Structure 1
Amino acid sequence: MARAALGDLLATPRSAALVAWDGGVCVGAVLGRDQVRDTHLSHEVQEMFVRPERQRGGVGGALLDAHLNAVQARGITSVSLLTARESPAEAFYGRFGFRRAGRMVLLVRP
């Protein structure tokens, strides 16, 4: 399932991905896509993962930093993502300047 989901994401127009490898083993990745929002282009980080045994070792930070630099190099200044509220992931992304969007609400339907 994960392979199919990642393949679908990479097949999306304007998608971008960075992968960290160690000895031929994928230890982490960040994937996102550029999208037209109103009158400008923005970027949404759609997936990010680091193997559990490699977390807190700098892999995720290096991946996200490089990904955000590549997005900025394309002239995109608006970047968004979804993550769990008050989670370690929210704290991680906060170190890279992400904050809660005050006016946005995630609505779900069972």
Structure 2
Amino acid sequence: MLEEIQTFTTEYLDKCAHLYVEVFNTEPWNEQWTFETARAKLFEILNTPGFVGFVFKQDELLGFVAGYCKQGPKSKSFYLEEICVQPHKQHQGIGTKLLNQLMDTLTKMEVTGVYLLTNKDGQAEAFYTKHGYQRSQHLIFMAKRF
């Protein structure tokens, strides 16, 4: 099977939305995405200035990564919004390949840092830790419900 990593474009939006629902409506997230809400979220990310994203294909779309660059006072950083791999294909290196492609691209763009939000103490945190990410000592996540 031929592996391909291609730029995430609107051509892949519907397939990525279906995958998003499949992944995030199951353990450990158990969220309640519909195709329409997932598609709207990914459409927003795709149309954010500074967007960078890739899809992983092997006969079919198996995963994607997406986020956007933000200019800071001295350098650019990247907010990794989503990384998503079909549940039955996880732990086979697809997420790592997507992350490596992303990092290669961001390095060429002179981005100096990546940040993201994820559930703590779970599979996702373990994945990011394995790839050199660490909990920030300087930033906290704050929320207000209303």
Shared fold per TM-score greater than 0.5: yes
Of the three residues 60, 68, 71, the one matched with 1:33 is 68
Aligned to 1:73: 108
Aligned to 2:136: 101
Aligned CA RMSD, in angstroms, stands at 1.0
In 1, Cα distance between equivalents of 2:143 and 2:126: 23
Residue 79 of structure 1: CA displacement? 0.9
In 2, Cα distance between equivalents of 1:42 and 1:98: 14
In 1, Cα distance between equivalents of 2:115 and 2:122: 17
Q: Secondary structure at the match of 2:40?
A: helix
In 1, Cα distance between equivalents of 2:75 and 2:112: 10
1:85 equivalent to 2:120? Answer yes
Residue 90 of structure 1: CA displacement? 0.6
In 1, Cα distance between equivalents of 2:113 and 2:50: 15
1:20 equivalent to 2:56? Answer yes
TM-score, with structure 2 as normaliser: 0.71
In 2, Cα distance between equivalents of 1:107 and 1:81: 14
- The 5 A counterparts of 1:51-70 are 51-70=86-105
In 1, Cα distance between equivalents of 2:94 and 2:138: 32
TM-score, with structure 1 as normaliser: 0.93
1:15 aligned partner, one-letter code: F
Stretches of structure 2 lacking an aligned partner (at least 5 in a row): 1-36
1:45 equivalent to 2:80? Answer yes
In 2, Cα distance between equivalents of 1:14 and 1:103: 24
Residue 7 of structure 1: CA displacement? 1.1
Looking at secondary structure, tell me which structure has more strand per residue: 1
Aligned to 2:4: none
Q: Secondary structure at the match of 1:67?
A: helix
Stretches of structure 1 lacking an aligned partner (at least 5 in a row): none
Residue 37 of structure 1: CA displacement? 2.1
1:63 aligned partner, one-letter code: L
